[in-house]
Amino acid sequence: MNREYHKWFSIALQRDMELLVFGDGGRAIIFFPTRTARFFDYENWGVIEAFKDRIENGEMQLFCVDSVDAESFYNPVVHPADRIKRHLEYEKYILEEVVPLIRYKNSSQIEVTGCSMGAYHAINIALKHSEYFIKAVGMSGRYDLTQPINGFRDLFDGFEDETVYYNMPCQFMKNLDDENILAMIRKLEIILVVGETDAFLQNNRELSDTLSSKGINNQLYIWEGEAHKPRHWQKMVQLYL
């Protein structure tokens, strides 16, 4: 299996960023890491190995990006407004630096996926920038980071503003009525996967119902148990990617 390591100084983030590429052709997929995780964790957890044959057969090419969650959502020493600002810089890095790399290496349209916090990144960026992507898969995700859920705190400590609102899919999708934007989102294939005892189950149901109410086709798969561990994600990626 082709494996490439890439590192460069990101203009958007003003720091070095790293990523791994697996495969040399096929469907191009950006794989976002879990909460404060790293670009190599899916490989270490055996998630990449789970669809090694499909990668080697040229069916897909994975771009496992790094995270700056510890500098944004999980950075308690900065003001919440600075947390969301850092997230937007990360989003700019993905769109203006990672996407061009993918287009240089692969002519396929781009898909996004991720597990846990990575699911938030995948679904949020796809809904906001649907012109870039054709498919988004969120596994074990949370789609409103301002909502305290079963021990998972509000990542903005009660702070609310327009920028936060427009980065919480469960919030901004409810009031989205621009038919041009909705038409673009309706072209996406959207898949949500979550465990029946996962703390984020209701969050997934809420987002799925909201999307459906807007005429946006989506699929919600509910797994037995919590299903919020690498051993579950190993199976999910085989079914939904």
**Domains of the chain as residue ranges with CATH:** 3-240 (3.40.50.1820)
Residue 80: is its pLDDT beyond 90? yes
Average pLDDT, the chain: 97
**What's the mean pLDDT in 163-181?**
97
Residue 84: is its pLDDT beyond 90? yes
How many other C-beta atoms lie within 10 A of the C-beta of residue 214? 15
Higher pLDDT, 94 or 151: 94
55 phi and psi, to 5 degrees?
-70, -45
- Helix (H) or strand (E) holding 84, with range, is helix 80-93
Residue 217: is its pLDDT beyond 90? yes
pLDDT of 234: 97
pLDDT of 142: 97
pLDDT of 21: 98
Distance between CA 68 and CA 82 in Å, rounded? Answer: 13
**What's the mean pLDDT in 69-90?**
98
Distance between CA 65 and CA 229 in Å, rounded? Answer: 19
Q: Hey, which residues does 29 pair with through a beta bridge?
A: 62, 111
Residue 164: pLDDT band (50, 70, 90) is: very high
Give the pair of three-digit tokens for residue 113. 């996926």
pLDDT of 134: 98
Give the pair of three-digit tokens for residue 183. 């038409």
Residue 151: is its pLDDT beyond 90? no
Residue 177: pLDDT band (50, 70, 90) is: very high
Residue 36: is its pLDDT beyond 90? no
3-35, pLDDT tens digit by residue? 999 999 999 999 999 999 999 999 999 999 999
How many other C-beta atoms lie within 10 A of the C-beta of residue 67? 24
Count of H-run helices and E-run strands, the chain: 10, 8
pLDDT of 129: 98
Distance between CA 87 and CA 198 in Å, rounded? Answer: 25
